[in-house]
C-alpha cells in the first residue's frame, strides 16, 4: 500500500507539473503581459505608464523565463514563471489580475466554504437517492414500475439542467413563493437560499445516476452467487442489500468519487444562476473579466483535486473488496 501511495504521488506530481507548464505556456502565448494590462485597464487607448504600473503591481514586469544572457544579473526566482506558476505548488496563488479582485488564496478559502455548503449535502443526497431508486427498480424489474421508472430516468437525463433551473425558479420562487430566486446569506439563513439549487441539481442528476446504478445492479443480480442466495430462501430485499449492493460498490465508488472534485470546485451553472458566491461563480466572474491569474489557479486546483480523488478511489477499492490488491 505504501509503495502504491508513493508511486501515485510521484505520477500525480508529474501530471500536475505538465498541466501547470502547459497552462502557463498557453496563457502567455495567447496574451502577453502588455495585452493583459490593456484588457484590464480598458482597451487599446491606455498609456504606457499605466501599463507599466499595472505590470509592476502584479509582478508581470519580470521576464517570463530566465534568459541565458540574464543569468548573471537575475535569479531564477525573479521570473513570472516562478512567481505565478511554480509558486502554485506551495499553494501561494498571488493576486488576481482584475482591478476589483484581491488575494486569490483568501477568495478561494472564502468561496470554497459556500461551495461546500451546496455540494456536500447534494453529494450525500444524490448517492442515497440514486442508489435507493435503482434498487427499487431492480426489485420490481419487469413490472410497470420498472418500465416507467426507466422512462422517467431517460426523460430526466435528456432535459438540460438549465431547464430545471428556469422552471424551478419560476415555480418555487415566483408562483409558490417557497424559496428566494437567488442570493446568499451566511449562517443558518443560508439554508433557505440553498434548498432550491440542491433540489433542482438533485433532480437533474438523478436520472443518469439511477439508470447507471440500475444497470450495474441488474448485472450483479444475474450472477450465480445471487441465484444461490435466492435458492437458500433469502428474501429479495436481503439479497439486494446484503449481496448485490455490496458487490456493486466498486463501480458506485468510481461513479460517485468522480463527482468529488465538483464538491470542492462548486457548480458553475447553479452558483451563477442562483447568485451563490462560491468557486464556480468565481471562475465565471474571472472568465468574464478575463482574469487569467484566477483561471490558471483554478485549473491547477482542479487538477490537484482530480489526482487526489482518483488516488483515494483506488485505495477505497481495497476497503470494499479484499480481493483487490494495490501493487
CATH architecture of the domain 112-292 equals Orthogonal Bundle (1.10)
Alpha-carbon separation of residue 71 from 55, 80, 100, 123 (angstroms): 22, 15, 36, 51
The pLDDT tens digits of the residues spanning 91-108 come to: 888 888 776 667 888 888
Grid coordinates representing 3?
A: 509503495
Which pLDDT score, from 0 to 100, does residue 69 have?
A: 47
Identify whether the C-beta of residue 156 lies closer than 8 Å to the C-beta of residue 192: no
The pLDDT tens digits of the residues spanning 129-149 come to: 998 999 889 888 889 999 999
Which pLDDT score, from 0 to 100, does residue 99 have?
A: 64
Q: Which residue has the higher pLDDT, 327 or 298?
A: 298
Q: Is the pLDDT of residue 163 over 60?
A: yes
Taking residues 14-18, what's their average pLDDT? Answer: 88
Amino acid at each position: 500500500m505504501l509503495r502504491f501511495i508513493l508511486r501515485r504521488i510521484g505520477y500525480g506530481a508529474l501530471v500536475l507539473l505538465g498541466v501547470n507548464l502547459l497552462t502557463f505556456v498557453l496563457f502567455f502565448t495567447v496574451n502577453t503581459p502588455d495585452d493583459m494590462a490593456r484588457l484590464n485597464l480598458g482597451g487599446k487607448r491606455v498609456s504606457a505608464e499605466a501599463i507599466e504600473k499595472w505590470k509592476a503591481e502584479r509582478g508581470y514586469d519580470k521576464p517570463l523565463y530566465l534568459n541565458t544572457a540574464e543569468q548573471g544579473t537575475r535569479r531564477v526566482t525573479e521570473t513570472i514563471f516562478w512567481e505565478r506558476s511554480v509558486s502554485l505548488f506551495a499553494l501561494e496563488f498571488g493576486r488576481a489580475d482584475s482591478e476589483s479582485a484581491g488575494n486569490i488564496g483568501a477568495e478561494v478559502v472564502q468561496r470554497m466554504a459556500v461551495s461546500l455548503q451546496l455540494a456536500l449535502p447534494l453529494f450525500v443526497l444524490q448517492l442515497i437517492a440514486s442508489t435507493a431508486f435503482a434498487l427499487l427498480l431492480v426489485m420490481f424489474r419487469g413490472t410497470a414500475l420498472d418500465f416507467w421508472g426507466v422512462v422517467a430516468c431517460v426523460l430526466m437525463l435528456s432535459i438540460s439542467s438549465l431547464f430545471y433551473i428556469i422552471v424551478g425558479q419560476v415555480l418555487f420562487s415566483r408562483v409558490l413563493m417557497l424559496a428566494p430566486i437567488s442570493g446568499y446569506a451566511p449562517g443558518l439563513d443560508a439554508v433557505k437560499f440553498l434548498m432550491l439549487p440542491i433540489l433542482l441539481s438533485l433532480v437533474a442528476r438523478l436520472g443518469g445516476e439511477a439508470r447507471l446504478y440500475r444497470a450495474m445492479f441488474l448485472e450483479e443480480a444475474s450472477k450465480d452467487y445471487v441465484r444461490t442466495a435466492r435458492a437458500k430462501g433469502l428474501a429479495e430485499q436481503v439479497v439486494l442489500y446484503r449481496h448485490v449492493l455490496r458487490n456493486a460498490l466498486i463501480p458506485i465508488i468510481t461513479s460517485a468519487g468522480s463527482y468529488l472534485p465538483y464538491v470542492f470546485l462548486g457548480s458553475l451553472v447553479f452558483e451563477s444562476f442562483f447568485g451563490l458566491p462560491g468557486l464556480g461563480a468565481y471562475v465565471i466572474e474571472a472568465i468574464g473579466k478575463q482574469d487569467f491569474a484566477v483561471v490558471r489557479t483554478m485549473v491547477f486546483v482542479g487538477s490537484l483535486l482530480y489526482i487526489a480523488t482518483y488516488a483515494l478511489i483506488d485505495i477505497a477499492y481495497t476497503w470494499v473488496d479484499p480481493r483487490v490488491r494495490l501493487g
